[in-house]
Structure 1
Amino acid sequence: MSELATAQTIPALLAERSTLGDHPAVIDQGHTISYRELFEQVEAVAKSYWAGGVRRGDRVAVWAPNRTECILAFLGAQYLGAAVVPLNTRYTGREAAEILARSGASVLVLTDEFLGLGLSRKLREATEQADAPALTALTTIVTMDDVAAEGCRTWADFLADGADVPGDVLAAAAAAVSPDDIVDILFTSGTTGQPKGVMSAQRQTIGVAHAWALGADLAATDRYCIVNPIFHGFGYKAGLIASLIAGATMYPIPVFNTDDVLTLIERERITVLPGVPTIFTSLIDHPNLADFDLSSLRFAIAGATAAPDSLFHDMVNILGFSRVAQAYGLTECVVATMSRPGEDLAHASQTTGPAVANIEIRIAGAEGEILPVGGEGEILLRGDNVMLGYFEDPEATSAAFDADGWFHTGDVGCLDEHGCLKITDRIKDMFIVGGFNVYPAEVENTLRRHPAVNESAVIGIEDARMGSVGRAYVALLREADPKPTAEDITAFCRTRLAGFKVPKEIVFVDDFPRNATGKILKSDLRAAV
């Protein structure tokens, strides 16, 4: 029906895809938006941002689940050349406030109705704390809901703001957007626990999505169930933007529910369903799986965390996918490798494929030497779609790249004789819970704020459902009275950290295994698991 789009900016991409006319772009809760209507609605949202003072180079934060308004909030800001700052819906108010302050976002679009989370209330309560970050740049909060919460404007009122913005003003703003303009800043906590904003240019986010669409053979005939959160690079770049590039039909799913997804697959003849392994194991384990017609399923990637050895076989032979692949990426380069078309299933389950177009991979030894085939070392990346750098953090940016422009991922792997990458370990302590990165330093910094905690060490341990979960080893102050229980420590973390970051297990210890300099040996803690 159509080839992959060639545009290098979001406004040009939307204009190119508007020629698909009545072809469905988004189907959300039974409501269909065509590609022509999507273009018109994005322009309307862009006008409203413009009326509120948003200009090229500004930042707009979006704190919402997968839904039509979330898509429009992203694209409307990017249409003007503003950068989107996605916020995880699981964030606490404090976590969201810190990123809003760091990014200098002038507008925040959110929803309060999602799972009753009351996101605006959480943010308001967080900013009322004595040590809260100052949100000096934030001028407008828009809710996607019909009723405005305190300090918010409704989506309808927001859209009305742009009604008087002239079309030629909007056209000029869109025409001024450059492929090199920053299109998104995805914040990810680092080894220090301080959030770092990963910056990508318009051309880079489109390039990442193009590589994914090409590797997935994505086409306008595909019906893509986007269950991965759009606030995450997987759902955003490999989902939303990749679908636009191919002209595919998107089905945004705000919450994964096995019955609902199985019903959707059968009713809408879903063809593409990527996700973390937990999604597929949940579908496979559904007691009434045989009652659903899943014959439309064509392509899946089980990524973002470790997969059970049998999963790929079960996805093909039980769920009926005609092709299952792996990919490797991280926030700094969302799609670096991808399984080859026609790949042997056993090989695809063990490797993440070769480098995608315009990306180079090198395996480096301890002294920085290039290792041969089979040599295990740090994975280095270089190419067009590797991030521009960390937002307002030149020191961290400089530390991430070497003199030759290679980005040091902190992941350990090797290349086989086919050039396919196998991930074997992580240099950094980061682990992945249900597809979301957890950095122990951030959790440990939070634990340190507990008045009874002297020291802690957090590691990831295997979990059948989530892939990994956190275990916190905690040493209490000797004078602590009363001494908190594991439940007390967990409750303390829940008020300060997103749920997926909260350790599942708390283990109290008198001391830790240490090296000669006194550093905690997490390798010994892991070995004891």
Structure 2
Amino acid sequence: MNSTLDVLRDDTLSLPSSIPHLLQQAAQQHAGRTAIEAHGQRTDYRDLPRLALAVTRSLMALGIEKGDRVAIWAPNGRDWIIAALGIHCAGAVMVPINTRMKGSEAADILQRSGSRVLFVQPHFLGTNYLALLAPCRPASLEHMVLLEEGQVASALDLDWDEFLALGTTVSEHSAQARSDSVQANDLSDLLFTSGTTGKPKGVMSAHGQNLRAFSEYVKVIGLQAGDRYLVINPFFHAFGYKAGWLTCLLAGATILPHAVFDAEAVFQRIAAERINVLPGPPTLYLSMLAHPKLAETDLSSLRIAVTGAATIPPILIERMRRELGFAVVTTAYGLTECGGLATICVPHDAAETIAGTSGRAIPGTEVSIRDPHNRPLAAGNTGEICLRGFHVMQGYFEDPVATAQTIDSEGWLHTGDIGVLDAAGNLRITDRLKDMFIVGGFNCYPAEIEAGLMEHPAVAQVAVIGIADERMGEVGCACVVLRHGQSLDQAQLIEWAREHMANYKVPRQVRFFEALPVNASNKVAKNELRAKVNA
């Protein structure tokens, strides 16, 4: 079924062809406006190309060619954006890495992406990223560039000033020529996601796809030049990168990076810095509504809220409008494999529509609900959500088998999500084919977590399920069978998991079983497990 937002028109002729072209266009159109504001430092739109091309020149000095992969492992901040834009202008492919990953997890992505350079913030929230990576640093990683002061790990690694000094050997003209050569179909980024199966895979997205999709997003939410956008969603995720700072560049808005969500700190920033735009997962708004200082905090500047595909009570939408003061509250659906955006509600939709659905397809996108035999189903029938359109990924990086399993011969991206379209074309998510659950806005894939927990010497078998949690929405519960003669309790396994995997993946509960229930195919019957855990 082809369903598009009636309020929009597919107008791609005026769009820049690439992120470097967008950068030049934004610098001309919005000179004099603040592009990035962080820690009291304001960066003007007119200065962004110069700052980005300084990074490009240094990357070229290190031998980075078009199509090479360059990674970033750092929290939200000004330098993250400058580094990313420099990577884009070099024609390289940006590889963001989750700041919550452990060293082995980050090393796996660096190795499989073939990243030659890594921009890294040495310390964040008490974690030493250089020390985490040191024991497992892949040989393919030639250089690390430190985004703040720290002790470099080897002679080939550089602090920020040393890195920028390298660029003096490459002319501005050469860097500009490289930037100008980047085209719409060139890869812009490689975001690693577990998709519908366990091990993370690199999703290949191109410049033109990103710009077209998020120009529609700008129109729907009503983002305007000069708006002040507090980007809490992490830059390593499409929500913080593409629906975050990239969207700001499309509109001429001011990017205010925020590294760690804390309700009180966010409250203070909204009031003191006159924030207009505040997207995030439902947990963000629930935390704000529950904050004891809500009544005494000036939230009058807030105008736009965007949240994820999770179904939420209509009363929450109404409270966000009434108590938080948002004029625009909308929900959207997307996944990394389609660039992060496929459907969205328009602001004038009823609270029930915004809370209970993810809206209609953006222009250029088809949404089809399909049965197990890949046949389309009529409106009102439940099946797998499939997407087709300009923004579907070019494939999984160096994984043609997984790509063919996900995108069929007719170009339909099989999302692994279950849903239904109503008569108006609104999409409602009802279930997930592959048992994914979402912890505070982060996708968690049981197969990936199970593989990690199986490395514990006392674990013989494990199945991970998502269970409801009032604060986080969902959390993981590990159902464990111990090896014969081994002993282990919940606290011990959780503590071990915290040392070996990103925090959002760590199960919040552990249940021990003599044996896990299985179905006729001898696969773990997770529905039975859920019933037992929730009993």
Q: One fold, TM greater than 0.5?
A: yes
> 1:121-270 alignment to 2 at 5 Å?
121-127=131-137, 135-151=138-154, 152-270=157-275
Q: Give how far 1:32 is off.
A: 0.4
The alpha-carbon deviation at position 341 of structure 1 amounts to 3.3
In structure 2, the partner of 1:374 is 380
Q: Is the Cα contact below 8 Å between 2:311 and 2:357 reproduced in 1?
A: no
Aligned twin of 2:21: 12
After TM superposition, give the deviation of residue 27 of structure 1 in Å. Answer: 0.5
Q: Which amino acid aligns with 1:310?
A: I
Aligned counterparts of 1:191 and 1:387: Cα–Cα separation in 2: 14
User: 2:129 aligns to what?
Assistant: 119
Contact residue 33 and residue 226 of structure 2 kept, 8 A: no
Counterpart of 2:465, as a letter, is: I
Tell me the matched-pair count: 518
Q: Aligned residue for 2:53? A: 43
Match of 1:66 in 2: 76
Cα pair distance change 1:110/1:307, threshold 3 Å: farther
Cα distance per residue 1:12-69 (max 9 Å; x no partner): 1000011121111000111100101112111111111111111110000000111000
Q: Deviations along 1:397-456, whole A, 9 cap, x unmatched?
A: 000011211000010111111111011111111111111111111111112112221111
Aligned counterpart, 1:504? 508
Aligned to 1:106: 116
Cα pair distance change 1:202/1:272, threshold 3 Å: same
Q: Give the drift of 1:305.
A: 4.1
Q: How does 1:428-443 map to 2 (within 5 A)?
A: 428-443=434-449
Aligned mates of 1:449, 1:392 — CA distance in 2:
26
TM-score (norm 1): 0.95
Equivalent residues of 1:306, 1:467 under 8 A apart: no
CA distance in 2, matches of 1:167, 1:337: 41
Q: Decide whether the 8 Å contact of 1:298 with 1:322 is kept in 2.
A: yes
The match for 2:410 among 404, 408, 432 is 404
Q: CA deviation at 1:192?
A: 4.2
Find the aligned partners of 2:512 and 2:159 in 1 and give their Cα distance: 47
Distance 2:128 2:280 in 1: 27
In 1, distance between residues paired with 2:197 and 2:350? 40
Letter in 1 for 2:521: T
- Give secondary structure in 1 for the equivalent of 2:248: helix
Q: Distance in 2 between matches of 1:445 and 1:30?
A: 44
If the length of structure 2 is used for normalisation, what is the TM-score? 0.94
Within 5 Å, give how 1:324-403 maps onto structure 2. 324-333=329-338, 334-403=340-409
* Cα distance in 2 for residues equivalent to 1:253 and 1:409: 30
CA positional deviation for 1:485: 1.8
| Structure 2 residue matching 1:429: 3-state secondary structure | coil
The residue that corresponds to 1:513 in the other structure is: 517
For 2:196 and 2:388, locate their aligned partners in 1 and report how far apart those are by CA, in whole Å.
22
1:318-352 CA distance string (max 9 Å, x none): 10101100000011111000002311122211111
Counterpart residue identity of residue 495, structure 1: E
Residue 321 of structure 2: SS of its match in structure 1? helix
Query: Gaps spanning 5+ residues in structure 2: where?
Result: 1-10
Q: CA deviation at 1:136?
A: 2.6
Aligned residue for 1:445, secondary structure, equals helix
Q: Give the fraction of aligned pairs with identical amino acids, expressed as a percent.
A: 44
Counterparts of 1:12 and 1:191, CA distance in 2: 34
Q: Which moved more, 1:159-168 or 1:8-17?
A: 159-168
Contact 1:226 1:239 in 2 (8 A): yes
Q: Secondary structure, in 3 states, of the residue corresponding to 1:157?
A: helix
Work out the CA distance in 1 between the residues paired with 2:302 and 2:274: 7
Shift of 1:231: 0.6
**2:128 is matched by which residue type in structure 1?**
G
Q: CA deviation at 1:306?
A: 4.6
User: Following TM superposition, by how much is the alpha carbon of 1:243 offset from its aligned partner in structure 2, in angstroms?
Assistant: 0.6
Q: 1:304 to 1:100 in 2, by over 3 A?
A: farther
**Residue 97 (str. 1) matches residue 146 (str. 2):** no
Retained in 1: the 8 A contact 2:15–2:211? no
The CA distance in 2 between the partners of 1:235 and 1:359, in whole Å, is: 22
C-alpha RMSD of matched pairs (Å)? 1.5
Letter in structure 2 aligned against 1:366: P
